[in-house]
Chain A
Amino acid sequence: MNRPAAGEFALAPVAVPGLASVTGGGAAPVSGARVGIVMLCHDNLDLAARMARLWTDGGAVVAIHVDRSAPAGDVAQMQQVLAGLPVVFTRRRTCNWGTFSLVAATLDAAASLLARWPDVSHVMLVSGACLPLRPVAELQHFLSSHPGTDFIESVSVVDVGWTVGGLNEERFTLRFPFAYRRHRKLFDRWVRLQRRLGITRTPPLGVAPHIGSQWWCLTRRTLQAILDDPRRREFDRYFRQVWIPDESYFQTLVRRHSARIESRSLTLAKFDGQGKPYIFYDDHLGLLERSRVFVARKIWPGASALYASFPRPAGHLAEPDSERVEAVLDRAAARHRRGRAGLYMQSRFPRKDAEGRKTSQPYVVLHGVGDLFLDLPQAASAAIGGVVHGHILARNEVEFAAAAPVGPGALSSNSGLRDIDPRGFLSALIRSSPALPAFLHSPRDRQHLNWFMVTDPNARLLVVTGAWMVPLLRSEMPFDDTRRMAAILHRSERRFLDALDSVWVKARVRRWTLDEALARPDEIWEAVCSTLRPDDPPPDAVLPALHDHSGLGRLIRRLRNAGLKPH
């Protein structure tokens, strides 16, 4: 074990070329605060040794705990590299994630650190993968400008829901004898069993469960008080059965002893949605620098630019502000958890009703309206200045606006290609279009997206029922064929209306019957214009001509007499 001669640590930090900034850039040494570092390592000991050097070079003293499962050769090498520096290695334990072993290792290391260096005023817990972003001198200055303050995130479990999904308070009220990573099934079953049987336990008297980031910086006084607590054996016994005690042991007990708690961590260590820490790379350099955080975790071992540029002075008075970094990380977590609305792609393929929002932006579906007016897409886009597609779900061909062979996003007008994945087609069309795309729809089209649109809050449906009869007037088919056609279209529209009448409707729907529409076509037209241009509907849009609908009454009568019920 490495035992530096007494007093060696008191020497001025060794000046290493290129590390001038580490020593504080010539700033006067700060009186009052001396930082001791407790470092937990389990792999990549090379890197951990480099980090330990950074700390000692800056004037800190270090107590290192190396996981017992680390290869002996690596440990010996690490000890050799750090020989002669103010570093102490503590008894090695086997550490399992989520168990008390990590707390025990921390307690050991903290105790030997305090015992060996009586002038240490603050102790900071870091890992071998934590990179100091600012010189130790700045950290010491910061700490001495907050005298007697413990920097530890400590959030009351009872009052605040902390974890995502599952265990929160139960971390403290159930027992966890099985390692989560190694015996996952057993762990889950044991939790379920305790829940079912209603087995709980209460924390020791005077202990209010708190929880927070495992990386803290405590004053000597507080840490010593935790170590020397007369009831420590009782607490240790209790926390041995708490889940992830490294996020709760100190966070809870500090509330018993601390005079002043600043409930935040000086270490930037955020977890992604999967419960593993975010990793920083070279491209985060600017972001980390601007954050002025003291320590960041974790750094990718290959991020040479980060290792080369930090620690870097940010000014003695600079307050850490990790908001921008955290915003970037939160955005990534949100993308992972919720994804982008209306996007269906190779790594986001939500099952039905798990889409969140089904499409990326509002769109307008004109059902039957196209059968009323002459060349509606043309007239509407002339009036509102946007794009109105034809029947994009038509059976034979996708009728994009202006009969384009290729639609938004390079979608093909080939109906076969569309029918492979109609949902993907529609959502890609909407995603690739400028604001408020619109298209025509009728019972003659493919109907597979009816429920999709009706249950989509982004859909604006303008529905004229029965309008499918108008084109039949011009068809000049024999009546038998007209009747058959009418029966098919009527049934098809009926199914669409069933969806519209259901309780699952999320779309905004306005409905007219054909009679109402023919009586007041200007009302329909005004509705079309104001839906397509909600902000400023064109006041003087010319009402387009109606399709000729003479003989409609006669057709309806004949259909009715032939056994149909078109209304």
Chain B
Amino acid sequence: MLVRLRAQRQYYLLRGLARSWRLASVRDRTGQIRGRDILVFVTLRNERPRLPWFLDYYRRLGARHFLIVDNASTDGSREYLAGQPDVSLWTTADSYRTARFGMDWMNHLLRLYGSGHWCLTVDPDEFLVYPHCDSRPLPALTDWLDASGRRSFPSMLLDMYPRGAIDDQPCREGQNPFEVAPWFDPANYAIRKNRFYRNLWIQGGPRARVFFADDPQGAPALNKIPLVRWQPRYAYVSSTHMLLPRSLNVVYDENGGEMASGVLLHAKFLPGLAEKSREELARRQHYADSQEYRAYHQGVQNRIELWCEQSQRFSGWQQLERLGLISRGNWA
């Protein structure tokens, strides 16, 4: 078993290495990275309108450098990012799918530049919210995690949605997406333990409720471990859902206590999803044959509403903690 896990980890690391030569550097500013900087790793494609707010959000939290792989954007994302002072950019026209949905690229960059740093691996529509995030920057969190002897920090995906049909309200460039989509499901999450990787497997939320009613088992996983104090031997296995070595996945308490955790607010259900899902359907580059996008496409066409009577409007981390979605653990 342990041999198998080790072999698997090495396999992922090698895959990252093998795919790395297809990454072409556009702008390499990694020389700016200093000893204890917090780094953000991103893979993206055609996200130009969302980028300003995304970068600003993480800069405000205290991230110091962005390492971004652009998967052949055609909307000017690359040019925009190349002009940012704290972004190192790579580009590739390689298949997102054969790169294990971008994770090979991420593992490679993490190994090369992330070792010894706290690294946040997110998508451009994921925004980290953690306990005290309104008063304490990310370095406060990572210092505390260091002092507590923790190497990884869990933040499940929290799907956010608007009231009314997804396409009703526009989201301008640079606008906070959660002004348009401030609603979420407070307690609709099913959790199982994956005995092999020891991570928790969380499904639920509006996607399971609305799009996956016929196939609940197929609903997308919401558990994520995006913030890790990286070491060269670490590797993400599947998206940022789980890692190897698997001790990094044990981010929960099994004796009845609570460990600290956050969420990634997921700004997916916004206008533009229709276009995006149409394109992704044509490219067929996503997980499970882009089944998910087929459902979204149909949903948008039928003007499906994710909002329900029980939806809650996001008001801050305190609310999320009260609802039991995140916990401060003993970070008083």
The answer to whether B330 touches A274 (Cβ under 8 A) is: yes
The answer to whether B154 touches A346 (Cβ under 8 A) is: yes
The 0/1 profile, CB within 8 Å of B marked 1, for residues 268-312 of chain A is 000011101011011100000000000000001111000000000
The answer to whether B192 touches A420 (Cβ under 8 A) is: yes
Q: How far is the CA of A307 from the CA of B121 in the complex (A)?
A: 33
The answer to whether A335 touches B310 (Cβ under 8 A) is: no
CB < 8 Å neighbour of A350 from B192, B254, B261: B254
Known: A346-B223, A409-B187. A279 touches B147 (CB 8 A): yes
Q: Which residue of A lies closest to B261 (CB)?
A: A347
Minimum Cβ distance to chain B for residue A471 (Å): 27
CB < 8 Å neighbour of A279 from B144, B261, B309: B144
The answer to whether B253 touches A276 (Cβ under 8 A) is: no
A410, CB-defined interface residue at 8 Å: yes
Q: Which A residues touch B192, using CB under 8 A?
A: 420-421
The answer to whether B330 touches A333 (Cβ under 8 A) is: yes
The answer to whether B209 touches A410 (Cβ under 8 A) is: yes
The answer to whether B140 touches A302 (Cβ under 8 A) is: yes
CB < 8 Å neighbour of A431 from B136, B149, B187, B191: B187
The 0/1 profile, CB within 8 Å of B marked 1, for residues 401-430 of chain A is 000111111111010111111001100110
The answer to whether B256 touches A350 (Cβ under 8 A) is: yes
Minimum Cβ distance to chain B for residue A279 (Å): 6
The answer to whether B216 touches A406 (Cβ under 8 A) is: no
A558, CB-defined interface residue at 8 Å: no
Q: How far is the CA of A278 from the CA of B66 in the complex (A)?
A: 31
The 0/1 profile, CB within 8 Å of B marked 1, for residues 340-360 of chain A is 100111111111001110000
Q: Which residue of A lies closest to B310 (CB)?
A: A410
The answer to whether A335 touches B187 (Cβ under 8 A) is: no
The answer to whether A332 touches B223 (Cβ under 8 A) is: no
Q: Which A residues touch B257, using CB under 8 A?
A: 335-339, 348
Q: How far is the CA of A414 from the CA of B143 in the complex (A)?
A: 43
CB < 8 Å neighbour of B260 from A281, A347, A404: A347
Q: Which residue of A lies closest to B215 (CB)?
A: A416
Q: Which B residues touch A272, using CB under 8 A?
A: 330, 332
Q: Which B residues touch A409, using CB under 8 A?
A: 185-188, 310
Known: A302-B140, A335-B328. A417 touches B190 (CB 8 A): yes
> Which stretch from B3-11, B16-24, B200-208, B269-277 is at the chain A interface?
B200-208
Minimum Cβ distance to chain B for residue A488 (Å): 25
A546, CB-defined interface residue at 8 Å: no
The answer to whether B308 touches A347 (Cβ under 8 A) is: no
Q: Which A residues touch B136, using CB under 8 A?
A: 281-283, 300
Q: Which A residues touch B324, using CB under 8 A?
A: 340, 343, 345, 431
The 0/1 profile, CB within 8 Å of A marked 1, for residues 40-52 of chain B is 0000000000000
Q: Which B residues touch A329, using CB under 8 A?
A: 332
Q: How far is the CA of A340 from the CA of B261 in the complex (A)?
A: 14
Known: A332-B331, A346-B154. A424 touches B191 (CB 8 A): yes
Minimum Cβ distance to chain A for residue B144 (Å): 6
Q: Which residue of A lies closest to B136 (CB)?
A: A281
A331, CB-defined interface residue at 8 Å: yes
Q: Which residue of A lies closest to B206 (CB)?
A: A410
A101, CB-defined interface residue at 8 Å: no
Minimum Cβ distance to chain A for residue B115 (Å): 22
Q: How far is the CA of A281 from the CA of B149 in the complex (A)?
A: 19
Q: How far is the CA of A409 from the CA of B189 in the complex (A)?
A: 9
Minimum Cβ distance to chain B for residue A166 (Å): 16
Minimum Cβ distance to chain A for residue B128 (Å): 14
Q: Which A residues touch B254, using CB under 8 A?
A: 349-351, 354
Q: How far is the CA of A559 from the CA of B268 in the complex (A)?
A: 58
CB < 8 Å neighbour of A348 from B137, B188, B204, B258: B258
Q: Which B residues touch A300, using CB under 8 A?
A: 136, 140, 143
Q: Which A residues touch B261, using CB under 8 A?
A: 345-347
Q: Which A residues touch B139, using CB under 8 A?
A: 302
Minimum Cβ distance to chain B for residue A396 (Å): 13
Q: How far is the CA of A279 from the CA of B260 in the complex (A)?
A: 15
B329, CB-defined interface residue at 8 Å: yes
The answer to whether B135 touches A281 (Cβ under 8 A) is: yes
Q: How far is the CA of A282 from the CA of B258 in the complex (A)?
A: 24
The answer to whether A414 touches B193 (Cβ under 8 A) is: no
Known: A279-B144, A335-B258. A406 touches B154 (CB 8 A): no
Q: How far is the CA of A283 from the CA of B204 in the complex (A)?
A: 34
A492, CB-defined interface residue at 8 Å: no
Residue picked from A282, A344, A348, A424, most chain B C-beta under 10 Å: A348
The answer to whether A354 touches B255 (Cβ under 8 A) is: yes
CB < 8 Å neighbour of B140 from A281, A339, A416, A419: A281
Minimum Cβ distance to chain B for residue A27 (Å): 33
B169, CB-defined interface residue at 8 Å: no
Q: Which residue of A lies closest to B135 (CB)?
A: A283
Q: Which A residues touch B256, using CB under 8 A?
A: 337-339, 348, 350, 354-356
A432, CB-defined interface residue at 8 Å: yes
The 0/1 profile, CB within 8 Å of A marked 1, for residues 311-332 of chain B is 1000000000000111111111
Q: Which residue of B lies closest to A421 (CB)?
A: B190
B291, CB-defined interface residue at 8 Å: no
B219, CB-defined interface residue at 8 Å: yes
Q: 8 Å CB contacts to A: which residues of B175-224?
A: 185-193, 200, 202-204, 206, 208-209, 212-213, 215-217, 219, 223
A81, CB-defined interface residue at 8 Å: no
The answer to whether A424 touches B209 (Cβ under 8 A) is: no
Q: Which residue of B lies closest to A409 (CB)?
A: B187
Minimum Cβ distance to chain A for residue B295 (Å): 15
B53, CB-defined interface residue at 8 Å: no
Residue picked from A300, A301, A331, A431, most chain B C-beta under 10 Å: A300
Minimum Cβ distance to chain A for residue B9 (Å): 23
Minimum Cβ distance to chain B for residue A439 (Å): 16
Q: Which B residues touch A351, using CB under 8 A?
A: 254-255
Q: How far is the CA of A345 from the CA of B258 in the complex (A)?
A: 9
The answer to whether B216 touches A346 (Cβ under 8 A) is: no
Show 25 A/B contacts (Cβ-Cβ < 8 Å), sorted by A: A302-B139, A335-B329, A336-B253, A336-B259, A339-B257, A339-B258, A340-B258, A346-B191, A346-B202, A346-B325, A347-B253, A347-B260, A347-B327, A348-B252, A348-B257, A350-B253, A350-B255, A354-B256, A407-B310, A408-B310, A410-B185, A414-B213, A414-B216, A417-B209, A420-B192
Binding site for A on B (CB under 8 A): 132, 135-137, 139-140, 143-144, 147-149, 154, 156, 185-193, 200, 202-204, 206, 208-209, 212-213, 215-217, 219, 223, 251-261, 308-311, 324-332
Binding site for B on A (CB under 8 A): 272-274, 276, 278-279, 281-283, 300-303, 328-329, 331-333, 335-340, 343-351, 354-356, 404-412, 414, 416-421, 424-425, 428-429, 431-432
10 additional contacts, CB 8 Å, given A282-B135, A300-B140? A273-B330, A302-B140, A333-B332, A335-B330, A336-B253, A338-B257, A347-B258, A349-B200, A349-B252, A421-B191
